[in-house]
Amino acid sequence: MSAWSWGLTELRQGVDRVEHSYRVLVALNTAQGHLRSAESAARGYRRTGAPALYAELRELVPDVREQAAQLARLTTDNPPQNQRVLQWQELIEYRLQELTALADGETGGASADAALAGDVRAGTTARTSEAATRILEVEEELLLERRAIIDERTGRLTGFVVLGIVLPLVVLTLLLQGLLRENRRSRRLEREARNAALEMEASLVERDRVTEQHRLLGSYTGLLQSCQTLPEAFELTTSLLQHLLPHAGGHCYALDASRNLAEVVATFGTPVAASAEVLSPDDCWALRRGQPHRTDDRHGHVTCRHIDRPTAGSGVWTLCVPLVAQGNSLGLLHASALGNDGRTDNDTALLETVGEQLSLAMVNLQLRESLRQQSLRDPLTGLFNRRYLETSLERELARCRRRGLPVSVLMLDVDHFKLFNDTHGHAAGDALLQKVAGVLASQVRQEDIACRYGGEEFTLVLPETDAAMAMARAEQVRATVAATTITHMGQQLGPATVSIGVASAPVSGNTPGELLEAADAALYRAKAGGRDRVEAA
């Protein structure tokens, strides 16, 4: 009986040592997995500035430290292994400090790319992994030795049982039950270690996928800032979404100037739930509330009116993200796909991030276009201003000179404008200028350039038009203005007349200054000759 007790004690001690090795392996794998997740969160936050990634990093740092400390406590019975763990723990702490410093830096842009490249070159991750690999190898060798000892002791105990077959069957049954229980426990620990390794591998795959998504988002943000037109921004957005969400499809909508209708301007993928090509803001919950609206089996089934309800059913998720910037609604980003797994939560976050970036780009492009128009257009008449005239006239002269074609310029002056202004008031004078500008806009071809030169003077640039054709065009403009009346504050004024000077290149000059000077001189001859007439340079 004492021999059996001794054998059981040795077997239990061997099993405890095996269990202890499994705990070491699980703690090591868990710490390494959390460290890689922390690296992914820190790099993703530095690249995109997403607050969720920064919060994830803050949660993971103490977990990594706790797992490293637990591993150090578990290996105190093995001084050489404990020394390796302490060295690895120092590397872990240094790496966590690096990740914290990386996340606390400036997010996005070239500085983030440089910091991430410097972090990769530092090589701390590789040294940490090498140290962990060494600990793992030593512990696995120790595990094999302990398993061999268990097998040896199990065989020895079995011999004792065979020798003690005469002992009561009850004692033998209890011993066998103890052996089976310990064996099951050992197998369970082995399965847990194997499952932990599989989970770590899946975590690495997910980390790589999220890292690639963050890389694409970072690249998209930089390219979006360089877009010059809204169609270019929408094309870039749909291309990104096809890479980020290959399983989804949808539309980009833009609101018209009156904010009464939203129309599809771009499409990506193959939408599962059909959406209207043109919709009213009242048809979409996202545009009504100014926040994303999602429907699926977990988030409710209140579907927007612009979505085809029969297709938006079980197993289908839809998402509407309003494009809002600086308090203004600009449009809508709509997407739909099959599947209600956990990945859809990540899809929602990606679409919201893209929507935020696209909204800012849209408002910036609209502002840029508005400023460009203001810099090129006269605010009263809507015609091009003098600065645009000087630039475009020089360009047209160079183009026509290369092709051997003429260019003509018409200088117009409203006759007796000062008297008209003094008699009827400045508001009436502005109305007269707007009326003349409207006549000019109606008389020009697509390639012609109509400008307000200054005051009551206007200029028409006629590319590929010789002197004879320009004189005919000028006479047509003069006659049209003379037949036009102005209605101001219920009173009919006019008719007004204009005097026109015509100059053509290369006959009257080859530079913008020479051509304008010649046309201006002809204009003054027309005014001196009695006004309401056309004179050639």
Distances (CA, A) of 380 to 355, 385, 391: 37, 10, 21
Neighbours of 136 (CB within 10 A): 15
Q: Alpha-carbon distance 163 to 392, whole Å?
A: 111
pLDDT at 372: 66
pLDDT at 232: 82
Sheet of 449-454, strands arranged across: 449-454, 457-463, 407-414, 498-505, 534-536
pLDDT at 471: 92
Q: Which two tokens stand for residue 363?
A: 């408002």
Strand partners, 225: none
pLDDT at 8: 67
Strand partners, 279: 262
- The residues of the chain scoring below 70 in pLDDT are 1-8, 10-11, 14, 106-123, 159-164, 166, 206, 297-300, 309-314, 340-345, 369-375
Q: Which phi and psi (to 5°) does residue 299 adopt? A: -115, 15
Q: Specify the length of the chain in residues.
A: 537
Homologous superfamily of 386-536 = Reverse transcriptase/Diguanylate cyclase domain (3.30.70.270)
pLDDT at 520: 92
Catalytic entry in 456, 457, 475, 535: 456
Neighbours of 475 (CB within 10 A): 14
Q: Which two tokens stand for residue 322?
A: 């309003």
Q: How many CA atoms lie within 13 A of 92 on its CB side?
A: 29
Using alpha carbons, select from 396, 375, 520 the residue that is nearest to residue 461. Answer: 396
Distances (CA, A) of 121 to 117, 163, 246: 6, 65, 33
pLDDT at 256: 82
Q: Alpha-carbon distance 173 to 41, whole Å?
A: 54
pLDDT at 502: 93
Angle between the N-to-C axes of helices 79-103 and 51-74, in degrees from 0 to 180, rounded to the nearest 10:
170
pLDDT at 255: 84
DSSP 359-384: HHHHHHHHHHHHHHHHHHB-TTT-SB
**Residue-wise pLDDT tens digits, 157-182:** 776 666 667 677 888 788 888 888 88
Burial class (CB in 10 A: 0-12, 13-18, 19+), 165: exposed
Give the rounded distance of the alpha carbon of 52 from its chain centre: 16
Distances (CA, A) of 470 to 147, 415, 442, 467: 104, 20, 16, 5
**Residue-wise pLDDT tens digits, 206-264:** 677 777 777 877 777 778 777 878 788 888 888 888 877 888 888 888 888 777 888 88
pLDDT at 264: 86
Handedness of CA 303, 238, 210, 363 (dihedral sign): negative
Q: Alpha-carbon distance 31 to 53, whole Å?
A: 19
The helix (run of H) or strand (run of E) holding residue 115 is helix 109-122
* 456 tagged catalytic: yes
Q: Which two tokens stand for residue 400?
A: 């026509």
Using alpha carbons, select from 436, 477, 440, 474 the residue that is nearest to residue 455. Answer: 436
Sole residue written with tokens 């989970």: 199
pLDDT at 310: 55
Secondary structure of 117-165 as H, E, C letters: HHHHHHCHHHHHHHHHHHHHHHHHHHHHHHHHHHHHHHHHHHHHHHHCC
Q: Alpha-carbon distance 501 to 474, whole Å?
A: 8
Strand partners, 251: 267, 334
pLDDT at 121: 59
pLDDT at 99: 79
Q: Alpha-carbon distance 444 to 28, whole Å?
A: 79
Q: Alpha-carbon distance 158 to 187, whole Å?
A: 20
Look at the domain 230-374 and name its fold.
Answer: Beta-Lactamase (3.30.450)
Would you kindly state where each structural domain of the chain is located, as residue ranges?
A: 2-215, 230-374, 386-536
pLDDT at 503: 92
